[in-house]
């Protein structure tokens, strides 16, 4: 299964699609050079299939390229970073 993740046209969330169907989203707020990840949601039919992980990895990779710190307010993002310590350096509270 291929998960396609794109930044929304409003620039305030990442949207995931699988086979042209919306599969999930990761919402964030950008303020003072820091990105706060506020909420991750995966549609029921795609839960447990790695969609959330692809959303988080894509968002964190984008933050790394941009050179900004992140606040993982969303419990899913926070847990994902804890399980992938190679991303811990991005966390503003690390």
Domain coordinates of the chain in residue numbers? 4-90
The span from the CA of 57 to the CA of 67, in Å, is 15
* pLDDT tier, 94 (very low <50, low <70, confident <90, very high otherwise): very low
> Does 63 have pLDDT greater than 90?
yes
Residue 73: which of 16, 7, 29 has the closest Cα?
29
pTM: 0.93
- Orientation of helix 75-83 relative to helix 51-66, angle to 10°: 80
Q: Which two tokens stand for residue 66?
A: 């941009």
- Give the model's confidence band at 93: pLDDT under 50 very low, under 70 low, under 90 confident, else very high: low
Computed over every residue of the chain, the mean pLDDT equals: 96
**For residues 92 and 71, is the Cβ–Cβ distance under 8 A?**
yes
Asked whether the beta carbons of 13 and 25 are under 8 A apart, the reply is yes
Confidence band, pLDDT 50/70/90 cuts, at residue 56? very high
Measured between alpha carbons, how far apart are the two ends of the chain, in Å? 33
Pick the CATH number of 4-90 from 1.10.1200.10, 1.10.274.10, 3.40.630.30, 3.10.110.10: 3.40.630.30
């Amino acid at each position: 299964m291929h998960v396609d993740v794109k930044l929304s046209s409003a620039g305030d969330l990442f949207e995931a699609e699988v086979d042209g169907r919306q599969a999930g989203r990761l919402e964030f707020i950008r303020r003072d050079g820091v990105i706060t990840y506020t909420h991750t949601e995966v549609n029921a039919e795609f839960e447990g299939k790695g969609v959330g992980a692809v959303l988080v990895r894509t968002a964190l990779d984008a933050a790394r390229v941009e050179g900004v710190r992140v606040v993982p307010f969303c419990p899913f993002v926070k847990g994902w970073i804890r399980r992938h310590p190679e991303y811990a350096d991005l966390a503003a509270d690390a």
